[in-house]
């Protein structure tokens, strides 16, 4: 338990992706089976106990100490699991310290009452607060240490110097604690079989196109173009009587979208974009968000936000693995497959015909009426390319629409994390609003923390330090007046209405596009610019 607790502790306070990868990989290397397998299951979200409720934990601790002292403690710490792990009166030697597998196996077979008794005994036996914290995180079903399932799988793959795609393809055929996976990664056994129905297939990803370099080398006749839809990439599988829906990282989201899986009648595996589609028309991304991250859905929600897949590839067609076929052949099969489903919940991502790159560029700048107008841009796919896991250079490109731009004024700057903790690197910026009396004030419209070079970061950091008005912990307010302040040209992908933001709008993917050292803040944009843009998007 100790090594696992230390790992969770470090992960939760580390921001660097590489550092997290190192920590998980070292843990998996140094920890014996089956503990490391259970840890991997916990980190990838494959384990979920809700063995105990917070109310039980609170009652258990109050039976052991003065409730008033606990109340003050909880109030000070703010997090129940953490407060309880710190105040829990130690009973060293009360019991043998449990290891991770003992905890997990002990909970799997337990009734609720048994689970509660066991958890109390483990809390008594664990000598470190950190271990008690990890135990409580585990048994309440929320690790939340800022590690994606994919990164955990990457760390496991690194152990065997194996591409993560191989681990991902196997993943849904494996069961915790993954002894066979580790045996293979460490070269002690054959690769486990991935032949389980409706498993996840690692996805093929696109490179961003470099307009200045790539087009000169590419022949438009070699490529198909289609619109890049603004939803989330999914994979829908129907095999051997099993239907599953996965995200692009292999997370199983079947339970959230039963309506889509109902529509997938034929045996096969589709790659496509998950969207909300009403009467054949794509709804804004905000509508899709109503359906995401929900454990349970009801008929009302499904009717209000009808989800659908806009299909663009076919990885399995009946008994045939189609991934080695060229796109031309896969596309033919896909069109026939989608037609057979005959459901509005699964439609086809249409191809966008074009003759030259110039013609395509014009279409991208001014998309035809309908859904393409809210597409994120275009996808280019080589007609003769097979479907290859990962991000190969050449067969697929994404060509995003030019971002929207707005000139906004820096209002607040916050210290960054990790490597950036000595820099003010997170910026809140605002645009001008005018009240009834004609008084102009800045209202915050977004926050960005990338888009600038290291050299520019140094310059902005210096500006922040030299122009600080007030400090609030890690945040500084910065001079922002018509003739003194700093203007950012902010790029963003779209706008949504938001009740959480004072300005009423929220930006998608805002980043610093250019620093306008030359521009007086008084000449930055007004909120009306954003409101107009929002109205245009909604009027489509």
Partner 1 sequence: MIRPQDLLCPKPEGLYCPPGNFYIDPVRPVDRAVITHGHADHARAGHGAVLATPETLAIMGERYGVDFAQATEAAPYGHTVARDAVEVTLVPAGHVLGSAQAVVRWKGLTMVVSGDYKRRRDPTCPAFEPVPCDVFISEATFGLPVFRHPPDGEEIARLLKSVAQFPERSHIIGAYALGKAQRIIRLLREAGWDRTIYVHGALERLNALYGRHGIDLGPLAQATTARKADFAGAIIVAPPSAMQDRWSRRFPEPIAAFASGWMQIRARARQKGVELPLVVSDHADWDELIATVSELRPGELWITHGREEALARWATLNGIPARALALIGYEDDGDD
DSSP class of residue 78 equals -
Looking at residue 98, what DSSP letter applies? P
**12 part of the interface to partner 1, by CB under 8 A:** yes
468 lies in the binding site for partner 1 (CB under 8 A): no
Q: Decide if residue 67 touches partner 1 (CB under 8 A).
A: no
Q: Which is it for the CA torsion 365, 371, 376, 378, positive or negative?
A: negative
Nearest to residue 296, comparing CAs of 327, 267, 259, 255? 255
Which is it for strands 494-497 and 487-492: parallel, antiparallel or unpaired?
unpaired
State the nearest-atom distance from the C-beta of 72 to partner 1, in Å: 5
Among 79, 114, 481, 523, binds partner 1 (CB under 8 A): 79
Closest contact distance (angstroms) between CB of 12 and partner 1 is: 7
Q: b or e along 350-368 (b: 16 or more beta carbons within 10 Å of the residue's beta carbon)?
A: eebebeebeebeebbeebe
Residue (79 or 175) nearer to partner 1, CB: 79
Strand order across the beta sheet in which 377-382 lies: 207-208, 396-400, 377-382, 223-228
Q: Which of 68, 109, 439, 455 binds partner 1 (CB under 8 A)?
A: 68
Q: Which of 6, 335, 456, 489 binds partner 1 (CB under 8 A)?
A: 6
Binding of residue 92 to partner 1 (CB under 8 A): no
76 binds partner 1 (CB under 8 A): yes
Q: Which runs of consecutive H residues, i.e. helices, occur in 164-224?
A: 164-171, 179-185, 211-217
Choose the catalytic residue: 20, 137, 153, 228.
228
- Is residue 87 part of the contact set for partner 1 (CB under 8 A)? yes
- Selection from 134, 178, 131 nearest residue 153 by Cα: 178
Does 14 engage in binding with partner 1 (CB under 8 A)?
yes
Q: Is 83 in the site for partner 1 (CB under 8 A)?
A: yes
Least spacing, CB of residue 243 vs partner 1, in Å: 41
Residues 397-416, one symbol each (x = binds partner 1 by CB under 8 A, - = not), give: ------------------xx
Interface with partner 1 by CB under 8 A: which range of 11-19, 178-186, 252-260, 510-518? 11-19
Cβ count near 391 (within 10 Å): 12
Residue of 32, 54, 72, 324 interacting with partner 1 (CB under 8 A): 72
Of the residues 23, 147, 314, 413, which one makes contact with partner 1 according to CB under 8 A: 23
In whole angstroms, give the CA distance from residue 461 to residue 414: 10
**Cα 10 from Cα 463, distance rounded (Å):** 33
Cβ of residue 465: shortest distance to partner 1, in angstroms? Answer: 9
Which stretch of DSSP H or E encloses residue 424? strand 424-434
In contact, 131 and 160? CB cutoff 8 Å:
no
Long-range contacts of 290-296 (CB under 8 A, 24+ apart): 291/256, 291/257, 292/232, 292/256, 293/256, 294/256, 295/255, 295/256, 296/255
Of 416-445, binders to partner 1 (CB under 8 A) are 416-419, 421-422
455 touches partner 1 (CB under 8 A)? no
46: contact with partner 1 by CB under 8 A:
no
Backbone φ and ψ of 389, nearest 5°: -65, 145
Q: Under rule CB under 8 A, how many of the chain's residues touch partner 1?
A: 37
Q: Does 86 bind partner 1 (CB under 8 A)?
A: yes
Kindly state the smallest distance separating residue 91's Cβ from partner 1, in Å. 13
Q: How far apart are CA 193 and CA 334, in angstroms?
A: 27
The answer to whether 228 is a known catalytic residue is: yes
Report the site for partner 1 in 186-215 (rule: CB under 8 A).
none
Contact residue for partner 1 among 110, 129, 173, 389 (CB under 8 A): 129
CB-nearer residue toward partner 1: 226 or 426: 426
**DSSP 8-state symbol, 92:** T
Alpha carbons 229 and 308: distance in angstroms, whole number: 12
Which of 55, 63, 66, 453 forms a contact with partner 1 (CB under 8 A)? 66
Residue carrying the six token digits 């610093």: 512
454 binds partner 1 (CB under 8 A): no
Does residue 65 interact with partner 1 by CB under 8 A? yes
Q: How far is the CB of 473 from partner 1 (least distance, A)?
A: 7
Contact residues for partner 1 (CB under 8 A)?
A: 6, 10, 12-16, 19, 22-23, 26, 65-66, 68-70, 72-73, 76-79, 82-83, 86-87, 128-129, 415-419, 421-422, 473-474
Residues annotated catalytic, as ranges: 228
């Amino acid at each position: 338990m100790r090594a696992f607790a230390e790992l969770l502790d470090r992960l939760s306070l580390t921001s660097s992706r590489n550092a997290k990868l190192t920590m998980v990989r070292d843990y998996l290397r140094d920890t014996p089976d089956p503990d490391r397998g259970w840890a991997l299951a916990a980190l990838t979200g494959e384990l979920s106990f809700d063995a105990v409720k917070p109310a039980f934990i609170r009652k258990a601790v109050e039976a052991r100490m003065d409730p008033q002292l606990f109340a003050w403690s909880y109030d000070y710490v703010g997090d129940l699991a953490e407060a309880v792990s710190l105040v829990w009166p130690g009973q060293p030697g009360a019991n043998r310290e449990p290891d991770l597998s003992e905890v997990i196996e002990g909970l799997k077979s337990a009734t609720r009452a048994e689970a509660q008794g066991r958890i109390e005994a483990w809390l008594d036996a664990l000598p470190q607060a950190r271990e008690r914290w990890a135990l409580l995180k585990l048994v309440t079903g929320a690790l939340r240490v800022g590690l994606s399932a994919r990164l955990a799988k990457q760390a496991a793959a690194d152990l065997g110097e194996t591409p993560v795609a191989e681990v991902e393809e196997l993943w849904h055929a494996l069961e915790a604690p993954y002894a066979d996976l580790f045996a293979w990664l460490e070269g002690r056994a054959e690769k486990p079989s991935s032949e389980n129905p409706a498993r996840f297939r690692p996805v093929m990803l696109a490179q961003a196109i470099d307009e200045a370099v790539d087009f000169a080398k590419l022949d438009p006749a070699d490529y198909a173009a289609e619109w890049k839809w603004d939803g989330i990439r999914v994979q829908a599988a129907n095999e051997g009587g099993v239907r599953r829906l996965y995200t692009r990282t292999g997370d199983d989201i079947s339970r959230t979208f039963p309506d889509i899986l109902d529509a997938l009648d034929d045996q096969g595996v589709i790659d496509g974009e998950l969207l909300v589609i009403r009467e054949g028309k794509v709804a804004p991304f905000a509508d899709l968000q109503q359906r995401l991250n929900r454990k349970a859905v009801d008929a009302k929600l499904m009717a209000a936000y009808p989800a659908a897949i806009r299909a663009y590839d076919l990885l399995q067609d009946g008994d045939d693995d189609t991934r080695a076929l060229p796109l031309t052949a896969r596309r033919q099969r896909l069109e026939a497959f989608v037609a057979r489903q005959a459901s509005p919940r699964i439609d086809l991502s249409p191809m966008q015909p074009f003759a030259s790159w110039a013609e395509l560029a014009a279409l991208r700048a001014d998309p035809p009426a309908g859904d393409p107008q809210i597409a994120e841009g275009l996808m280019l796919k080589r007609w003769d390319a097979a479907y290859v896991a990962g991000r190969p250079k050449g067969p697929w490109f994404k060509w995003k629409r030019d971002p929207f731009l707005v000139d906004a004024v820096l209002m607040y700057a916050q210290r960054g994390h990790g490597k950036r903790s000595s820099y003010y690197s997170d910026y809140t910026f605002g645009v001008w609003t005018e009240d009834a009396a004609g008084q102009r004030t800045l209202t915050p419209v977004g926050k960005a923390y990338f888009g600038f070079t290291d050299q520019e970061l140094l310059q902005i950091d210096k500006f922040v330090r030299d122009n600080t008005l007030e400090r609030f912990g890690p945040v500084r307010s910065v001079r922002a007046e018509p003739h003194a302040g700093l203007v950012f040209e902010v790029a963003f992908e779209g706008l949504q209405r938001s009740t959480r933001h004072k300005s009423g709008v929220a930006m998608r993917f805002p980043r610093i596009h250019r620093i306008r050292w030359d521009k007086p803040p008084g000449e930055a944009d007004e909120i009306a610019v954003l409101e107009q843009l929002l109205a245009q998007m909604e009027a489509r």
